[in-house]
């Protein structure tokens, strides 16, 4: 090859290499950005699912405390929660299902206990229906087994709340 051809060919090959490298870096960057965007969307959807789970559970909790016929609707409440868990299974894990069912079960037991005390201790029923937090004085009115139910419900509620907060704070 002649010197003149090489003087033209070498800069052209360098320019082509630079163009190809730039094209590769651009494509790689766009692919990474798409992956990042998909991850962000999943996180946003997961946060929405946890926020909705909390709302569903607490709406049932409030219904059990304020509606005298709520125990009759327990099966419907379980169906509602199960339907929600099935629809959002991609965002929720097995622990969420276990905690949700434990919470509903403890809520049902506690509602039954409060109902049993309705004649004996009307202030307990009033506190429950007005959605007051159980005070230590109110807790003393319960038998040991009943206090365990209150503690179980509150502990399960706290676990769900802590997990929801953790997910909602994630980015």
Tokens at 84, concatenated: 């929600």
Tokens at 73, concatenated: 């609707």
Check if the beta carbon of residue 100 is closer than 8 Å to that of residue 57.
yes
Instruction: Return the pLDDT at 93.
Output: 93
Alpha-carbon distance of 23 to 149, in angstroms, equals 64
Instruction: Return the pLDDT at 23.
Output: 81
The one-digit pLDDT tens for each residue of the chain (171 residues) are 678 877 777 888 888 888 888 888 778 877 877 776 666 889 999 999 999 999 999 999 999 988 888 899 999 999 999 999 999 999 999 999 999 999 999 999 988 988 888 777 777 777 777 777 766 667 776 777 788 888 898 899 999 999 999 998 986
Alpha-carbon distance of 161 to 154, in angstroms, equals 10
Which residue in 114, 123, 98 sits closest to 150, CA to CA?
Answer: 114
Quick check: helix, strand or coil at residue 170?
coil
The separation between CA 31 and the C-alpha centre of its own chain, rounded to angstroms, equals 29
Tokens at 15, concatenated: 């320019």
Task: Return the DSSP state at 90.
Answer: T
Question: Where along the chain do its domains lie?
Answer: 41-169
Task: Return the DSSP state at 142.
Answer: S
pTM of this structure: 0.72
Alpha-carbon distance of 127 to 139, in angstroms, equals 12
Q: How many helices (H) and strands (E) does the chain have?
A: 6, 0
Alpha-carbon distance of 132 to 124, in angstroms, equals 10
Instruction: Return the pLDDT at 135.
Output: 67
Check if the beta carbon of residue 65 is closer than 8 Å to that of residue 131.
yes
Alpha-carbon distance of 82 to 101, in angstroms, equals 9
Alpha-carbon distance of 87 to 102, in angstroms, equals 19
């Amino acid at each position: 090859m002649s010197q003149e051809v090489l003087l033209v060919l070498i800069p052209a090959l360098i320019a082509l290499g630079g163009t190809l490298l730039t094209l590769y870096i651009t494509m790689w960057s766009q692919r990474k950005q798409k992956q990042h965007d998909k991850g962000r969307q999943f996180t946003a959807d997961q946060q929405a699912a946890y926020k909705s789970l909390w709302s569903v559970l607490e709406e049932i909790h409030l219904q059990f405390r304020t509606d005298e016929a709520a125990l009759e609707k327990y099966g419907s409440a379980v169906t509602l929660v199960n339907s929600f868990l099935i629809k959002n299974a991609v965002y929720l894990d097995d622990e969420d299902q276990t905690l949700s069912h434990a919470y509903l079960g403890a809520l049902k037991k506690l509602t039954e206990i409060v109902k049993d005390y309705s004649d004996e201790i009307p202030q307990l029923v009033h506190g429950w229906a007005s959605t007051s937090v159980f005070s230590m004085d109110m807790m003393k009115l319960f038998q040991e087994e009943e206090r365990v139910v209150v503690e179980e419900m509150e502990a399960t509620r706290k676990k769900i709340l802590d997990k929801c907060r953790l997910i909602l704070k994630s980015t």
